[in-house]
Amino acid sequence: MDNDLHGTVALADREMAAASDRKLQLRLWLRLLTCSRMMEAAIRARLRAEFGTTLARFDVLAQLDAARGELSMGELSARLMVTNGNVTGLIAGMEADALVARLPHPTDGRSTLIGLTPGGRALFDRMAPAHEGWIEHMVRRLSPSEMGRLLELLGKLKDSARERDVLSGL
């Protein structure tokens, strides 16, 4: 708990250190990073305190849910943006806790699918509304029209940042 509060304060300082005399673009990036890390830290702390679980496990369950219950290891890796090696260990732990199970692949006999177990489904069904509630609470001071405008501007930023990656070959 102290770590998270501490982190929040530290991030604010980090942005302030760059304030005033620096360029608008740099201030924008630091504020974006501050918001993102602050919200992520709160979500991690809540998942740990209320469900005894990690953001990585929540993300696995959310991706499986969005995919209607089943994904190959490669698909899961791609959606989680971690390496296959990391996903292997993560999934092994979740398998041991009966949150997910390995299933035979319907068309590729050498491959397996990862599926939600009834227990994994039940846990996700409890966590998803809580997760949504934390986020709603964190953004509550923005009016619906401010949220819409922020979503739109972040969409423009996403296109701008993504295009750069492609052009520069990164």
Q: Are 18 and 31 in contact (CB under 8 A)?
A: no
Strand partners, 5: none
From the list 37, 54, 73, 97, which residue makes contact with its own copies (rule: CB under 8 A)?
37
Q: Are 91 and 80 in contact (CB under 8 A)?
A: no
Interface of this chain with its own copies, residues 81 to 140, rule: CB under 8 A? 81, 83, 132, 135-140
Interface of this chain with its own copies, residues 136 to 165, rule: CB under 8 A? 136-142, 144, 146-151, 153-165
User: Least Å distance between CB 122 and its own copies?
Assistant: 20
User: Least Å distance between CB 109 and its own copies?
Assistant: 27
Q: Does 4 bind its own copies (CB under 8 A)?
A: yes
Report the residue number, 18 or 117, with the smaller CB distance to its own copies.
Answer: 18
From the list 32, 92, 103, 122, which residue makes contact with its own copies (rule: CB under 8 A)?
32
Q: Rounded to the nearest 10 degrees, what angle do helices 73-80 and 84-96 cross at?
A: 110
From the list 18, 53, 95, 115, which residue makes contact with its own copies (rule: CB under 8 A)?
18
Q: Are 108 and 24 in contact (CB under 8 A)?
A: no
**CA geometry: angle at 147 spanning 144 and 152, to 5°?**
130
User: Least Å distance between CB 68 and its own copies?
Assistant: 11
Which of these segments, 61-69, 84-92, 94-102, 108-116, binds its own copies (CB under 8 A)?
Answer: 61-69
Q: Three-state SS across 75-112?
A: HHHHHHCCCHHHHHHHHHHHHHCCCEEEEECCCCCCCE
